[in-house]
Amino acid sequence: MSHYKNVLVAIDGSDESVKIVQKALDLIAGSGAKLSVALVFETLVGNYSYELNMGDFQKVQHEFQEQVSKHAREMLKSKFPSIAAADVHFLRGKAGNEIKRLAASLKTDLVVIGSHGQGAVSAAVLGSTANSVLHGIHCDVYTVRV
pLDDT tens for each residue of 33-57 = 999 999 998 876 655 555 566 667 7
The pTM assigned to this predicted structure is 0.83
Task: Determine the structural domain holding residue 51 and report its residue range.
Answer: 6-145
Summarised one tens digit per residue, pLDDT across range 64-123 is 889 888 999 999 999 999 999 999 999 999 999 999 999 999 999 999 999 864 444 434
Instruction: State the average pLDDT over residues 123-145.
Output: 80
Q: Is the pLDDT assigned to residue 143 strictly greater than 70?
A: yes
Q: Is residue 66 part of a domain?
A: yes
Q: Is residue 67 part of a domain?
A: yes
Sign (positive/negative) of CA torsion 108, 110, 113, 119? positive
Q: Is residue 128 part of a domain?
A: yes
Angle of the 54-79 helix axis to the 16-28 helix axis, nearest 10: 50
Q: Is the pLDDT assigned to residue 141 strictly greater than 80?
A: yes
Q: Give the separation between CA 99 and CA 36, rounded to whole angstroms.
A: 11
Q: Is residue 75 part of a domain?
A: yes
Q: Give the separation between CA 40 and CA 93, rounded to whole angstroms.
A: 7
User: How many structural domains does the chain have?
Assistant: 1
Residue 62 vs residue 144, higher pLDDT? 144
pLDDT in the model for residue 65 = 86
Name the phi and psi angles at 82, rounded to 5.
-75, -15
Q: Is residue 69 part of a domain?
A: yes
Q: Which residues contact 36 (CB under 8 A, 6 or more apart)?
A: 6, 7, 8, 9, 87, 88, 89, 102, 106, 108
Q: Is residue 65 part of a domain?
A: yes
A 10 A CB-CB count for 65 gives 16
Q: Is residue 1 part of a domain?
A: no
The CATH number for 53's domain is 3.40.50.620
**Nearest residue to 40 (alpha-carbon basis) of 6, 4, 90:** 90
Q: Is residue 13 part of a domain?
A: yes
